[in-house]
Structure formats: C-alpha cells, structure tokens
Structure 1
Amino acid sequence: MKRFITQSLMNNLHKKKDVYELTRLNNLFTRNEINIPGFDDYRVLKCDFHTHTVFSDGLVWPDGRIYEAWQDGLDAIAITDHIEHRINQDLLNGDLNQSYKIAKTAADDMELIVIPGVEITRDKPLGHFNALFIQDANLIEKEDPLDSLAEAKKQGAFIVWNHPGWPDNNVTLYPIHEQLITKGIINGIEVMNYKDFYPKAIHWCVSFKKTIMAGSDVHCTISGMYRNRFRPMTLVFAREKSEAGIHEALLARRTIALFDGYMAGEIQILSQFVKSCIKIKYMKNSCIAVTNVSDIPFHIFNEDDSYMLPERKTIMMRIPANHLWTLENCFVKEDSKLSISINELRLE
C-alpha cells in the first residue's frame, strides 16, 4: 500500500502545492452488493429490523446506522431503541421519535428505507418486543408493558417477539406469550438474533402462523463483527421496494431468516427461493453441473454424499441415483431441513 501512496504523491510533486490530495480515496463509502434472486413477481429486500442507537443503549448515532446498513448492502433498516432503557437520557434532549427522525433524513439521501420502531423491554417471562411501523413512539411509553403493546397495535404496529432464548438460554413459550399470540398481538418471532439461533422458535412460527424473523440487535459498530459474512437479516419477498411493500410482505409471512450461512423459512417460501438460486444442467459425461447464482452458500446432502455449493459457483458431480436432496443449511422446522428433488432445479 505504501508504494502506491508514495507513487501517487511523487506524480504530483512537480505541481508545487502545499497539500497533495490522494484523490483515489475520494469515495465516501463502499457498498457490498448482495446478489439474492427473488421468485415469481417478488423481489428480495435485505432487511435488519432490530438496531439500537445512542438514544437508548447503543453506541452509534442514528445516521451512522444508516451508513452501516447501506455499506452492508441492506435495502431497509428499523431503528428500535428501547423506550425504557436510555442510558444517555440526561445528555440527549430529543423525544422517543428523535432517533428515527435523524435516521430518516440520512436514509432518504441514501435511498434506504428506514422503518420507525421501538423496543418494549421487560424481564422474562414477558421479554422484549419490537413494535415496527409505529406512528408515535412517545405514546407507547407506558408503565404496564401490555398497555404499551396495546398502544402499538392501535397505531397499526407489527409486533415481533425478540430473542426468546435471551438472557437465560431457555427458549420457553410462557402462558403470557400464548395469550398474546391468541389475541393476535404477536405478528412475528425472531428465530435468529445477534449470535444466537433458536430452532424451537421456527416451530412456533409454523404452528401459530407467525412471521419468521432475524435481526442483528446491534448496539456497537457492526463493522467486522460477522467476519466478512452477512449480518443477521430478514429476507423479505415484496412486490415493491417501499415501506408499504415490506409491511404487506411481513403480514403475508413471505420471509426467510438468514444468519451465518443458515436459513429458516416456511417450506413453500424456502423451496421457491432455493429453486431461484440453484440451477442444474445435465452434461454429456454422465454428470450434472450445479450452479448457485446467489451470494448464499448451500450445503447439499444426498444419500451418503455431502457437497458444498459455494456462492456464485458451479460444481460438477455425478448424477445421483437418488434425486432427493436435503439442504442442510435450510431449516423448515425445529429439527427438519428442506428436501427438494433435483428435477425441480433442472435448467432446460
């Protein structure tokens, strides 16, 4: 690196200036473009619906969250600051909507969708909930958390039960959650959060017809946290790239949770998604060429054979006698992976 900088300086020394600018560093940010195909008429929106800023217990200013999200290749982000836990309250005079307002100004410039939200925070057995698509966060601050949830629903909020296994590593469906599910208060459940994966929560989503979600729950800076892998995110299959399009898709449960190369989703959505990512071509040498057109790797298991299908790569293998594949990194239930016939992946 030093010789390139030195050469850049040497090339400009003849200009006799007081300051020699390294113009090759003029780019402000670099975006990681994530290639994930949609299916039918749906487009994939990469979303993180769980983030925090200095307006609760985070370490980043709201517009910093926007710049991070844009660089990470996201299409949408939600600011979900705690309404009860605000460690900088004595220093920051803004109301509960202030972090969203700051983020929204930056997001509009970056053409990124920012969803207004708050996190309603209580100890177990109730736990934490994100209220998304709210109108006024100030009205949601109540002494009784059930009143907070009721106000959020009154505002048309989409309610997500956050990290059901935190902080005790017990993923438990308490009676209060059964009541909230029965009453239609809970719309979605995080099956992946920060660095945790809760397979049991997939079963709840499928059984109770709740939307499968994943979020980073990021508090500090996110750069480098996931070792060049994607942050936990919710893949939303929307008809249009807009806040309304995302809201409609979440209510329709067209989502896949993505985290560290693992995916979780309803079988219909996940199977359609895999079909859009993996293509098979029969070769003349009794082999098949298997192409992954996405930026997500797949782990294929067939009988006693295991294959890694890297992102944006084609591998060649002998035609298997058993045409049924199991995608080891694609969960459709707590203890069940997606199975699919290679005939459904065939590229004519």
Structure 2
Amino acid sequence: MKVALNLFITRNCSFNHSLLALLKLKIFSNKPDNICIDQYMKRFITQSLMNNLHKKKDVYELTRLNNLFTRNEINIPGFDDYRVLKCDFHTHTVFSDGLVWPDGRIYEAWQDGLDAIAITDHIEHRINQDLLNGDLNQSYKIAKTAADDMDLIVIPGVEITRDKPLGHFNALFIQDANLIEKEDPLDSLAEAKKQGAFIVWNHPGWPDNNVTLYPIHEQLITKGIINGIEVMNYKDFYPKAINWCVSFKKTIMAGSDVHCTISGMYRNRFRPMTLVFAREKSEAGIHEALLARRTIALFDGYMAGEIQILSQFVKSCIKIKYMKNSCIAVTNVSDIPFHIFNEDDSYMLPERKTIMMRIPANHLWTLENCFVKEDSKLSISINELRLQ
C-alpha cells in the first residue's frame, strides 16, 4: 500500500492536498474508514470556527480554503414519479491507466454533485500492474468503501479495450471482472452479458474522428449485446450516434472517461454526465432506468435524449407567466441553460434566471441545445409549459 500511495502522490502533485492527507490517514491507520474520515473532518472543518481565532497560538490553519468536503449541488428537477440522478459511467483509476486512486474518484464525484459513478478500468491496459497488488475487482472494492461513507453509488464495471473496428465497451453492473478477461473480446462481451452486464459502446468517434457503424456493431446490436451508446465522451459530441440510439432503441449515454484529476479539466462546467430518471436512488434503480432508456446525455450546455424524455424534462425545467404587454416571463428553475429559438428571435435562458420575450405567433419554440437526432432539435409548444 505504501508503494501505491507513493505512486498516487507522484502522479497527482496538483491534486487537492487535503485528499492526500485523508489517504495517508486511511492507509496508515488501523481504524475503520468512517472513524478516519470523522477525524479528518474534525481537523480540517471543525477548527474553522471563528472562536478558534480568538485563542492565542503559534499556527492558524486557514481551513476555509479547504474544499474537499464542499459539494457543488446540481439542481435538476425530475418529472412524474422519477427523480434525476447525475451519473458518470466512465472513469479510470491507477489500477488501469488512470492517475487517481479509486477513492479519489469518489471524493471528486461527490464534490461535483454526482449521485453515482462507475469504475471502469481497462482489462487489457494496466500500466501499474507490477506495482499494485489486487485483481481486476480491487479498484471497485476500494471505491465502494469510500462511496458508502459519502452516500454515493458506485457501480462495478470494466472497459473492454480493442482497436477499431470493434472499439471500446464498458460493461456495467458486473459480478466478477476477473472472469471477463479473455483473449477474444467477443468472449469478454459474452461473459459480461452472462453476468447481467449493461454494455455501452464507448466513444464511437475515437480515435480517428470518424463516427462509423461497422458490421461488427450491427451484429452486436442485433444479438442484443449492446445496450447503450456514448454520444458524449471526454470533450467530444457525436450527434450521429443519437440516430443509432433512436433507430436501434439503445440508451443514450455520456461519460467523462476521466484518467487524470478532473478538477483541472472542466473548471466551472459540468463534466459529461448521464442524467438518469430513476424511481429510486439505488444501484437497482439506476439499472432499471438504463434498461428502460430513461436518460439524457449532458455536456457543455448541450443535451441529447429521446424526444419523449427530453420534452418531459424541459417542461419540468421551464415555467412561464403571461404578461399584459403580449410578452411572457420565462423562468428556468434548473442549473442547465437553454437556447430558445422563437420564430426569428433567439434567446438565451440562463440557469435559474427569468427572461422576458414576446409570445410567438405559432406558440412554438425550438430548443437549440436539445438534440433528439443528429439534425433535429426539440420543438415544444409554450402551451405545454407550466404556468407560474
């Protein structure tokens, strides 16, 4: 474990110093994790009370600068009886080719306001294998301990990694990653399905910037092997893949595919994530929603989803109020901006803001940042929106 910690520290010199303190405390203490975290929070948070500054001492810890246990809440309403779970189903750790320890991924996700992540380390690509002890399930086990403390859901997974034309696939909700390691990637996919996995075709436009549906993918779709397709990954958006999801009835997905620390990647923007409309906050609830295709891909202000799901979601986010001057007040109650095209006018509706606009003669809007197909944006009648 000391070797693993040293590797983690050297590869993450820019990572939050507080997290390293927590990792040291956990690794070199025999106490349960929850006790270690309690001690950590007591040291770095409790002492920030102002009355401590009135006590004369040699060292004052400016703990208000510490944001490890500060969560950026993302306010997104659900609809009907569904709640929105913010999920990243594609992350990597030092147990494949990532630069972060598994529980570091949990703290990052909690800080970013997520409800669930999947640990999807590569089966075939493990650059630290000679340094780290543990099998293909080890990264999930480490992450799970931290996730339970943080009330975050972590989903077991792996990434089956081959060159095009096959490409990369995430297997989610697996039982034993070790059994999925096969020489033939099709055997790996078959074993994952045997374990009840939800299979995602990852970043279909990488690495050659060509989004191509090869015959092998058509075969996997026909056989029911592929359940979902990433239409957003890392910094890329693949509108063409939305068409495949709609045509083949596959779940629309987005994932960060994060390998390094995520804090420096997206700054004040959301990471790529999948909005899951679930009946309950649980692993089973997420699994059921993915199989039912109740998802929206979200990244950089753009959304992609099936028209029924996306339209219901927009209706839950936007409210209107009719004014006396042939205008309407339009309120966005979510943390997601909307780009509204209204006849010949274009409006930006920022997150948690109200704007004024004229009532369109046809009462129709086009949501320019809401994709239902490659070349089709969501259209909605203002008569369908809720009144304030």
TM-score category (smaller protein): over 0.9
Alpha carbons of structure 1 residues 100 and 8: separation in structure 2 relative to 1, 3 Å: closer
Alpha carbons of structure 1 residues 82 and 8: separation in structure 2 relative to 1, 3 Å: closer
Which 10-residue stretch deviates more, 310-319 or 33-42?
A: 310-319
CA displacement at 1:8 relative to structure 2: 9.8
Residues 5, 22 of structure 1: 8 Å contact kept: no
CA displacement at 1:224 relative to structure 2: 3.0
Residues 280, 288 of structure 1: 8 Å contact kept: yes
Alpha carbons of structure 1 residues 119 and 325: separation in structure 2 relative to 1, 3 Å: same
Residues 189-247 of structure 1: CA deviation (Å, up to 9, x unaligned): 00000000001100000000000000000000000311301000000000000000000
More helix by share: 2
CA displacement at 1:17 relative to structure 2: 2.6
Alpha carbons of structure 1 residues 156 and 279: separation in structure 2 relative to 1, 3 Å: same
CA displacement at 1:289 relative to structure 2: 0.4
Residues 274-304 of structure 1: CA deviation (Å, up to 9, x unaligned): 0000111101222100000000000000111
Question: Which residue number in structure 2 is paired with residue 183 of structure 1?
Answer: 223
Residues 9, 20 of structure 1: 8 Å contact kept: no
Residues 47, 233 of structure 1: 8 Å contact kept: yes
CA displacement at 1:24 relative to structure 2: 4.0
Q: Does 1:51 align with 2:91?
A: yes
CA displacement at 1:114 relative to structure 2: 0.1
Q: Does 1:146 align with 2:147?
A: no
CA displacement at 1:320 relative to structure 2: 1.8
Question: Which residue number in structure 2 is paired with residue 198 of structure 1?
Answer: 238
CA displacement at 1:2 relative to structure 2: 24
Residues 96, 128 of structure 2: 8 Å contact kept: yes
Structure 2 residue matching 1:224: 3-state secondary structure: helix
The CA distance in 2 between the partners of 1:227 and 1:261, in whole Å, is 14
The CA distance in 2 between the partners of 1:132 and 1:4, in whole Å, is 35
Q: How many correspondences in the alignment? A: 348
Detail structure 1 runs of 4+ shifted over 6 Å in the superposition: 1-14
Which 10-residue stretch deviates more, 221-230 or 308-317?
A: 221-230
Residues 190, 201 of structure 1: 8 Å contact kept: yes
Which 10-residue stretch deviates more, 119-128 or 13-22?
A: 13-22
Alpha carbons of structure 1 residues 309 and 139: separation in structure 2 relative to 1, 3 Å: same
Which 10-residue stretch deviates more, 274-283 or 222-231?
A: 222-231
Aligned sequence identity (%): 99
Unaligned runs of 5+ in 1: none
Alpha carbons of structure 1 residues 138 and 219: separation in structure 2 relative to 1, 3 Å: same
TM-score, normalised with respect to structure 2: 0.85
Alpha carbons of structure 1 residues 316 and 4: separation in structure 2 relative to 1, 3 Å: farther
CA displacement at 1:346 relative to structure 2: 4.0
- Note the aligned Cα RMSD (angstroms): 3.2
Alpha carbons of structure 1 residues 95 and 257: separation in structure 2 relative to 1, 3 Å: same
Q: 1:306 aligns with which of 326, 346, 351?
A: 346
Residues 47, 63 of structure 2: 8 Å contact kept: no
Structure 2 residue matching 1:281: 3-state secondary structure: strand
The CA distance in 2 between the partners of 1:106 and 1:150, in whole Å, is 31
The CA distance in 2 between the partners of 1:292 and 1:14, in whole Å, is 44
CA displacement at 1:13 relative to structure 2: 7.8
The CA distance in 2 between the partners of 1:52 and 1:13, in whole Å, is 41
CA displacement at 1:18 relative to structure 2: 3.5
TM-score, normalised with respect to structure 1: 0.95
Residues 75-104 of structure 1: CA deviation (Å, up to 9, x unaligned): 000000000000000001110000000000
Structure 1 residue matching 2:313: 3-state secondary structure: helix
CA displacement at 1:69 relative to structure 2: 0.1
Residues 43, 238 of structure 1: 8 Å contact kept: yes
CA displacement at 1:327 relative to structure 2: 0.2
CA displacement at 1:55 relative to structure 2: 0.2
Residues 161-195 of structure 1: CA deviation (Å, up to 9, x unaligned): 00000000010000000000000000000000000
Residues 9, 22 of structure 1: 8 Å contact kept: no
The CA distance in 1 between the partners of 2:187 and 2:46, in whole Å, is 63
Residues 315, 386 of structure 2: 8 Å contact kept: no
CA displacement at 1:14 relative to structure 2: 7.1
Structure 1 residue matching 2:264: 3-state secondary structure: coil
Residues 106-156 of structure 1: CA deviation (Å, up to 9, x unaligned): 000000000000000000000000000000000000000000000000000
Residues 324, 341 of structure 1: 8 Å contact kept: yes
Structure 1 residue matching 2:265: 3-state secondary structure: coil
Residues 45, 75 of structure 1: 8 Å contact kept: yes
Residues 57, 82 of structure 1: 8 Å contact kept: yes
